[in-house]
Amino acid sequence: MTQAFASEEMSSEEAAAAASSCSREFRANPHPVYAALRTAAPVCPLTPPHGVDTYLITRYDDARAALADPRLSKDMHGALDTYHRIFGPSSVALDDNMLFSDPPKHTRLRRIVGNTFTPKRVESLRPRVQKITEELLDRCPTSEPMDLLPEFCFPLPLNVICELLGVPEDERKQAQAWSATVAQTGFGPEARKALEVAEGNLRDYLVDLIARKRQDPDGGLLSALVTARDEEGALTDGELVSTAWVLLFAGHKSTAYQLGNAVYHLLADDEQRRLAFRDAKATAAAVEEIFRFETSVENSTFRYASEDIVIRDTAIPKGALVQISITGANRDPEVFPDPDRMDVTRSNVQATQLAFGYGPHYCIGAPLARLEMQLALGTLFARFPRMTLAGAPEDARWMTVPFPAFRGLAELPVVLDPS
């Protein structure tokens, strides 16, 4: 794999500059930079491309504590000026949900979603996830190079979450396109305008979709949330729209990139691939290790300090932005021996890796993501055991965005069946 930096030779100032730059070199391989920060500046002030000073936490113990620290607020309405400087005022309307709230509001909204997004409902999707997986693979060319991301990695979780919510099939590609704009926007005037337009379109679409579910319920998750709004008064109209948005967006983006990361690393390591698919139990364990080794959720969503706090001798003033490096924490050698080696037989990973967060905001969609990853990878490699990367692993192109929330490939060229 490409080593863009030599972490043992990097000072804290150099590491902070590299992380702040979000350069193509850093995006290709951020791990040595996070390793340097863990050692030299584990709570590091940065000035990312969005221009708002941010404290980045990279050690596992600090990250785990910060994810559950009530002094680090998720309700960006309490730091509205800062929020507007980063994303613009249009974003606020779509962020009235459990991801961007604190107790007691967060507790209420999470309970409502949890009452409908149940483990039983997720498990009931198993046959449908399997069928979607097979249908997508049926349409893929087998003997010539193809990009697995748009043909398989993205459509699978998108179709699953859309079926769960009740989004009609012919409307899914447009919803995905708007979501892609939101995920990859920059911070200049043109990018900000594109973000505003995409968010407006998504908001209008969801308002219309909710009206259709109210008129014609279908038993899906969105219909259940509409019932909670109309019959129980459990959430406002704004919360209903925003909750639908976060379920749609978070319900496919992170899993799509994670699936691509998994395929890439398994194809680059024959021995680990063999160990990962000995049986279903081995595949489940391998998925957890891949979540740790190359999580698609590189950094947590923004938090801000609701009061002056100190983390590992670093004073963070009230109102300051804070992000937790999930990627950095998941490769902390104090918790994961030999962390830069993917080891699908590594023990106790599910209980320790932080790809789904920790504490009150632990990802409510984790069971669905695990189900999709296990079925998708198991089916893909069983069906195409000779699949190869269409190029050298070190030539992979990683997605470049101004300040990444997701870590994933820009493309994943493979040949499914070289024979």
The answer, yes or no, to whether residue 88 has pLDDT greater than 70, is: no
Give me the pLDDT at residue 25, please: 86
Q: pTM score, two decimals?
A: 0.92
pLDDT at 82 over 80: no
C-alpha–C-alpha distance, residues 48 and 150, integer Å: 29
Q: How do residues 215-239 score in pLDDT, each as one tens digit?
A: 999 988 899 999 988 888 889 999 9
pLDDT value at 100 more than 50: yes
Lowest model confidence (mean pLDDT) among 158-172, 220-234, 318-332? 220-234
pLDDT digits (tens, 9 = 90+) for 14-38: 888 888 877 888 888 999 999 999 9
Distance of CA 117 to the CA centre of its chain: 18
Q: What is the spatial distance between Cα 217 and Cα 212, in angstroms, rounded to a whole number?
A: 8
Contact 353, 291 (CB under 8 A): yes
Could you tell me if 360 and 341 are in contact, meaning their C-beta atoms sit under 8 angstroms apart? Answer: no
191 versus 214: the higher-pLDDT residue is: 214
Q: pLDDT digit string (tens) for 391-405?
A: 889 889 998 765 556
CATH 1.10.630.10 matches 89-292+356-415: yes
Chain-wide mean pLDDT for the chain?
89
pLDDT of residue 346 exceeding 60: yes
> How far is Cα 374 from Cα 282, in angstroms, rounded to an integer?
10
pLDDT of residue 284: 96
Token pair listed for 413: 């060229």
Peptide bond into 367 cis (omega under 30): no
72-73 vs 303-305, strand pairing mode: antiparallel
Q: In the chain, pLDDT over 90 holds for what percent of residues?
A: 64
Whole-angstrom distance, CA of residue 359 vs CA of residue 203: 29
Confidence of residue 2 (pLDDT cuts 50, 70, 90): very low
Answer whether residue 1 shows pLDDT above 60: no
Q: Looking at residues 122-146, what average pLDDT do you find?
A: 95
Per-residue pLDDT tens for 327-345?
999 999 999 999 999 999 9
